[in-house]
Amino acid sequence: MTRFLPQEAIRQKRDGVVLEGSTVRRFIEGVTAGEVSDAQIAAFAMAAFLRGMTPSETVDLTLAMRDSGDTLRWDDLPGPVADKHSTGGVGDNVSLMLAPIAAACGLYVPMISGRGLGHTGGTLDKLEAIPGYDVRPDERRFRDVVREAGCAIVGQTARLAPADGRIYAVRDVTATVESVPLITASILSKKLAAGLPSLVLDVKTGSGAFMSRREDAETLARSLVEVAQGAGVAASALVTDMDQPLASVAGNAVEVANAVRFLTGERQDTRLREVTLALCGEMLRLAQLAGTAGEGAAMAARALDEGRATERFGRMVAALGGPADFVERFEHHLPQAPVRLEVPAGEAGTVQTVDARALGLAVVRLGGGRTRAEDPVDPAVGLTGLAPIGRRLEPGDALAVVHARDRASAEAAIADVRAAFRLGEAGASGPAVIGRIG
């Protein structure tokens, strides 16, 4: 075989040449084997960032990254397999409810999730607030839990799409994160390695999203759907609003508690229910368990309201090492912050805008997120009772409640939270689901 020269692939992409599939595969094989240096990865990423990639190139890149490690198969399950992926937001704990709701409707959901990134919370960080919950089970246990409970939410192993991990680490420090083809390949390579025949994407837009402009979110959503379909996966995407937190809470343990209250019907934030059921409806439509997304959403609502999803959630938690009575005694099991202080409104008015990103960063500063990958996360801290856009407040009414480790950090968070809200004479929330693609 002719010796592969990574610099030639870089030169071609730099000059705007459409790369052949064999060239893309050999470059990624070199990344995985250590034959391609970090400098060459950075040069390739910058060339792709500046020149772009065609849909066919992005499909080739996605498949090569998928095939850089293990791939899972679920042929032994007696029903359809499906999953969803969110681009991340603040107060977005949809996965915690969506997986058991979908399972209660007949889907099998092997959900591989990630940790917090920047101002956004991570599903794994939330689940680690549950005592004993194993976010990194071995493959056999992962499979057993999916079969038994219908769903399992776990973390990515080092053997799934390892090329993505190396490429992303380089992109993170070379100003090439925002490339739509590279984001697409990064997201889909991991999901395809999980062996999914269908996938729903939740692409956020607004102040709390990575894609703050709607047109950028729609561009990414179209890319994800087109490339997933080109790789043989049934896919669709919802573009959802992140101009305010999706739930009335933000943090780790507080979002798990919110999820349990949602599942049991004790409390369901309106926008959170809208997004969760819409995504479930798309999943059931793609898996052909419902004729339309609307029919699927109605199926999901019944599974939720009848308590079948709650039972699935409890089974999943127990099967992955959490308390068997977690649903019944979640307040006892979850860590509690020792300091809780209200954030009073300084004036009367209606909530007009909320800087969701600022609220996410307030949680990070409390210790509920990371500024470095190796930082520990405090599961107990966060925000609850977040006032939504459109709520009328009088002076002294609470904008939110801060849960903190000490009074000094609580006082700092109060200032951050107050600055994130703007009150005026009028304000109204728009729909949480603002677009559908695919």
Positions annotated as catalytic residues are: 83-86, 123, 171, 186, 190-191
Neighbouring C-beta atoms of residue 329, cutoff 10 Å: 11
* Dist. CA 210–CA 118, nearest whole Å: 9
Q: Alpha-carbon distance 93 to 283, whole Å?
A: 17
d(CA 309, CA 101): 5
The answer to whether the CB of 227 falls within 8 A of the CB of 62 is yes
Angstrom distance (rounded) from CA 282 to CA 285: 5
**What letter does residue 166 receive in the DSSP assignment?**
H
For the record, the structure tokens of 259 come out as 């999820």
Smallest CA-to-CA distance from 312 within 269, 358, 280 is with 280
Write the CB contacts of 56 (distance below 8 Å, at least 6 apart in sequence): 18, 21, 230
- Helices 55-66 and 21-33: crossing angle in degrees, nearest 10, is 30
Residues paired with residue 109 on neighbouring β-strands, in sequence order: 151
